[in-house]
Structure 1
Amino acid sequence: MTSSRICFPMSGCSRVNTFGGQIMAWMVNVATIAASRLSQAHPTLRAIDMFTFRGPSQVGDRLLLKAIVNNAFRNSMEVGVRAEAYHEEGPNRHINSAFMTFEVLDDGGKPRTLPRIRPEPLEGQRRFQEATARKKIRLDRKYIISRTQGEVPLSVPWDPTNQVYLSFNNVSALKMLAARSSWRLSCEKDQVQLYTLEQKSMLSFKIECEVDVPAHRAFDLLAELSNRPSWDSHYKKCELIQLVDNDDFIYRVVTPSVRHGAMGSPTAANQAKGILQDFILLASKRKPCGSGDPYVIALRSVSLPTHPPTEGYNRGEVLCAGFTILETKDNKSLISYFNQASPEVLPYISTDIAGLSSSFYHTFCSCSQYLTRNRL
C-alpha cells in the first residue's frame, strides 16, 4: 500500500518542519488501509512499536508513505510503515518508520481469526521472520522484563499445621484458572492446541489434546510426578522430598535455566557452566467429585526451611500450574495442562506463543506416547 501527501503550512511547526504527530497520523492511516485489505474488514490498532524519527520533514515536502503486512498471526497482524520525504527533483529521504499491530474484532468484541499470508521469497521472508521475532520480544518485554522481581514472593511457606488449607487453595486456584472463559487459541498443530489468557500483568497458557487412554489411568500416570523427566525434556530431575498424605506431595524439580541467557533458550556458555533452575512444588491430586468433573493435579511453589536456595541453582517459583483430565467418549481423555506463567517459566513457552517453535507440540506428543505405552 502506497500513499502520497503534501506538507502544507498548516501541517508545520512555525511554517518550517512538519508536525511529528501529523506524520504519525498519516502513517497510521496508510497502515490501517493495508491491514483492512488483508482482513476485508475494519481493523483496530492495538500497538505501535519501534516508531523511529530518522529525520525532519519540511513544509513543501512531498511524503511517500509505504505500508505492508509483514506477518499475520492467528488473531493479529503486524504492518510495517515507512515514510520518505522528497522535494521537487531531490532524492528520497527516509524520515520515519514503525511497526503497528492490528486486530479485527467480531460483533462480540473478540479478535477474529485472520487469514495467513504466504511471504514472498527473500525480502518478504525476511520481513515475515523478523515480525515473528518482534512478537516474542513484545511478549517478553510485557511479562518478563517489565515485571519487578522480589516484590511479592510467589511461593508460600509450607506449614504442616495448615496443610489442609494450603492444599485446598492449590486445587481451587487451578480449577478457577481452568474455568476462565476468555482463553484465546494461539496456535494448533495436529490437534494439539496452545491457548493463552491475559489478565492484567499475568500471562497464562493452556495446552490441550485428546489421548486414547482412560481418564483414571492417565490421572494415575501423570500424578506420579517422579516419572515426568522420562517424557518432558524441561524436567531434568524430579525427586519426592516429602510425603504429606495420600493425595499431597512435595517435590524438588530441576530444569534448565533460561534467565541468564537470551530470552527463550539458554546460551551455550550457560549450558557449559551447568546453570540450572530448581523449584519446590506442592503437588495435590484430586479425583472427580461428581459426574462430569475432571481429575485434577495441581502444582504450586512452596518454601521449605530444609531446602533453601543452593549455589549453582536459580530458585524459580510457580504460582499455579497442573493438569485437568476429563473423561470423553470411547474411553478417551482430554488432557489439559495449565500454567500461570512466572518469569522463570514463561521463556520456555514464549517462543511457541510467538510462533518461532513448536516445542509444546513435541512435549505433548511425548506425553501422549508415555500414556499410551502405559495405558494398561
Structure 2
Amino acid sequence: MASESSLMENLQDHHLEGEGQHRNPSEVKMSQIVLPCHANNCRELSIGQLLKWMDCTACLSAERHAGCPCVTASVDDIYFEHTIGVGQVVNIKAKVNRAFNSSMEVGIEVSCEDLHSGRHWRVCQAFATFVARRTGTNKVQLKQVVPCTHREQVEHSLAAERRRMRLIHHDIMQDLLNNKTFQRSISEGGIVYVPGAESRDELAAVSTERTRVESVELVLPPHANHQVNTFGGQIMAWMENVANIAASRLCNAHPTLRTIDMFYFRGPSQVGDRLILKAIVNNTFKNSMEVGVCAEAYQGEEPLRHINSAFMTFEVLDENGRPRPLPPIKPEPQEGRRRYQEALARKKIRLDRKYIISCKQTEVPLSVPWDPSNQVYLSYNNVSALKMLAAKNSWVLSSKKNLVSLYTVEESQSLCFRVESEVDVPAHRAFTLVSDLSRRHEWDQHYTLCELLIRVNEDDCIYRVVTPSVGEGGKVQDFILLASRRLPCESGDPYVIALQSVTLPTHPPTEEFNRGEVVCAGFIIYEVSKSVSKISYYNQAGPGVLPYISTDIAGLSSSFYSTFCACSQYLMENRVTSPLLASATL
C-alpha cells in the first residue's frame, strides 16, 4: 500500500503542473483498476479493499494539510449506491473540508469508470475524521482551511454541524432506547418467543448463534502504516470480511453490503497485536439484515483492548437485482435481545437521517414530523439549508435604500431573498436579541404572535407563529417553526439562527388558520468590529411567505426597509444587557 500511495502522489503532482483551474492544496486522488485479486467470488470489488483505498487516500490528504502523521479517528456512515466489477476503474478523491484544533474532517468521493464505454457513476461519499499526531512534545494546532470555491465554502461551513452530530451520536441512540413509545412499538411489532407456541414464522426463524463468527489476525509490518500502527483501512477491511461471513451464514448466499454505520476507533493497535474480530447478525428487516462487528486487540497475556465497532447492513439480490426476502432471526436471551432492539433503533435513526438530510428543499411535503429521535437531524438539516442558501453565488441586488440592501435569487422552482444591513450593536448581543423569537413581534409587523411550544435544548426550540392575513377578509396564517441557533465554531464564523417548518402531532392545522410552511429562513450575523455587526436575513420564499414580500421584490414597496429599520431600532434600544436579562436563559 505504501508503494501504491507514493506512485499515486507522484502522478497527482504531475497532473497539477498542467492544471490551470483552482485545486485544493490538500486534495489527493487515487485511481485503481479492479483486478481479480481485489474481487470477491461474484467478481465484484471487495468492500474491504475499497475501504482500504479510501482510508489511504484520506490519510494522505490529512497529512498533506497537517504536515505531520495523522491517524483515523472515525468514518461517518457510508451508503454504497453501486457495486464495482473486475476491469472497472475506481476513482477516489479526498480533501480536507475543515480543520479544528488537532482534528480535521476529510471528504471522500468514490466514483467508478468503465474504460470500454466511457461511463462514470458515483459509488459513495464519506466523511472521515483524522487526528494529527506530532512526534515531539509540542501541542498540535492545525492551520485553518481557507475555502476558495463555492462548494468548498459550503463544505467548510457544514463540517461544524457534522462534527456536532458525531459528538452526540451515542446520546441519540440512548435517548431512543429509553423512549417508552419506541419500547412499546418494539414489543407490539417484534417477535415474542414463547416455548411450545411458535408460529410458522417463528419456526422458520434462524438462531443468531448460527451466524456468529470469530476470527483472529496477527498484525504484521505489511498491515501497519508509516507510524507502525495498524492501518485503519486494514482493520475496517478485516471487519467487513467477518461481517460478510456472518451475513452469508444467515442467507446461504452471497450478500451485498449496502450501508455501514459510523466506524469509531477507540484506541490504537500496533504491529505484533493479535486482533480478534467478532461478528453476528443482530436483526433482519424483511429484505435486509444488520450485522454487528467489533475488533479487539491484545499482546501476550494482557486484557483485550476495544479497538473498533461497526454495524453493517446487507441485502441479498435475486437474478433481477432486487432484494430477496430474508428469514427472521431468533435472538438469544439477554445480550441477543439487547442487540435485536438496538438494531431496530439504529434502523429508525438511519431512515430518519437518510430522509431528512438527503431531502431536497423543493420536495413536498416541506415539513417533516418532529420527534425527539429525529431532532438532531432536523436541526442539522435546518442549519445546513440556511448555510447553503447563504452560500449561493448568484445573488442579485434588487434594491437599496440608505444602508439596507435587498438581494434576490430567482430559480426554476423557488425565489430566494436576502435583506442585509449593518447595525451599531455587537454581534453576540444582536444574536441574543434576534434569536429570542418570543420578542420578534416587538419589531416585525408580520409576527402577530409567537408562542414557545417546546424547548428542545439550549440551541433548539419549536415555536408557533401567527401572521396576519394577506388579503382583506382572508384567514390569518400560522406556522410551526423549528428554530436552531448556533454560536461561532471559531473566529471568523458567523452567528446562525435557522428557521424551518416542522409538523407537530399535538398542533395539527385548524379551521381558523391557514397553515403555512417555511422552506428555509433565518439570520446570519457577522462581527464587523467589536461594536458593529452585519445582519443578513434569508428566506427561500414558499407559497405561504411569497405574498408578504412580492411587492417589495417587484419594487412597488419598501416594507422590507421599514421592517429592518424597526429591527435596528429594537437592537439599539436593547444594546446594553440589563441585569435581569443577563441572568435569564434564552
Counterpart Cα distance in 1 of 2:526 and 2:512? 39
Q: 1:230 and 2:442 equivalent?
A: yes
Counterpart Cα distance in 1 of 2:389 and 2:493? 15
Number of aligned pairs?
A: 215
Counterpart Cα distance in 2 of 1:281 and 1:151? 18
**Partner residue of 1:159?**
371
Counterpart Cα distance in 1 of 2:433 and 2:529? 20
Moved over 6 A (4+): none
Counterpart Cα distance in 1 of 2:393 and 2:363? 29
**Partner residue of 1:257?**
469
The normalised TM-score by structure 2 is 0.36
1:1-376 equivalences in 2 (<5 Å): 152-258=364-470, 266-267=471-472, 269-270=473-474, 275-329=475-529, 331-376=531-576
Counterpart Cα distance in 2 of 1:199 and 1:290? 33
Distance 1:151 1:284, change over 3 A: closer
Counterpart Cα distance in 2 of 1:256 and 1:223? 21
**Partner residue of 1:116?**
none
Unaligned segments of structure 2, at least 5 residues: 1-361, 577-586
**Partner residue of 2:319?**
none
Counterpart Cα distance in 2 of 1:238 and 1:296? 19
Say if 2:426 and 2:529, in contact at 8 Å, map to a contact too.
no
Q: Which amino acid aligns with 2:462?
A: I
Q: CA deviation at 1:151?
A: 7.7
Q: CA deviation at 1:199?
A: 2.2
Counterpart Cα distance in 2 of 1:325 and 1:334? 6
Q: Which amino acid aligns with 1:174?
A: L
Distance 1:304 1:182, change over 3 A: same
Say if 2:370 and 2:502, in contact at 8 Å, map to a contact too.
yes
Counterpart Cα distance in 1 of 2:403 and 2:383? 27
Distance 1:161 1:340, change over 3 A: same
**Partner residue of 1:77?**
none
Cα RMSD after superposing both structures: 1.3
Unaligned segments of structure 1, at least 5 residues: 1-149, 259-265
Counterpart Cα distance in 2 of 1:360 and 1:201? 23
Q: Which amino acid aligns with 2:467?
A: T
Deviations 1:221-245 (A, max 9, x none): 0010000001000000000000100
Q: Which amino acid aligns with 1:295?
A: Y
Q: Which amino acid aligns with 2:518?
A: V
Counterpart Cα distance in 1 of 2:530 and 2:508? 47
SS of residue in 2 equivalent to 1:205: strand
The normalised TM-score by structure 1 is 0.56
Counterpart Cα distance in 2 of 1:151 and 1:365? 34
**Partner residue of 2:301?**
none
Counterpart Cα distance in 2 of 1:230 and 1:368? 12
Q: Which amino acid aligns with 1:370?
A: Y
Q: Highest Rg: 1 or 2? A: 2
Counterpart Cα distance in 1 of 2:374 and 2:553? 37
Q: CA deviation at 1:202?
A: 0.6
Counterpart Cα distance in 2 of 1:151 and 1:183? 22
Q: CA deviation at 1:165?
A: 1.0
Q: CA deviation at 1:159?
A: 2.0
Larger relative CO (CA 8 A, sep 6+): 1 or 2?
1
Structure (1 or 2) with the greater strand fraction: 1
Q: Which amino acid aligns with 2:459?
A: D
Counterpart Cα distance in 2 of 1:236 and 1:339? 19
Q: CA deviation at 1:160?
A: 0.8
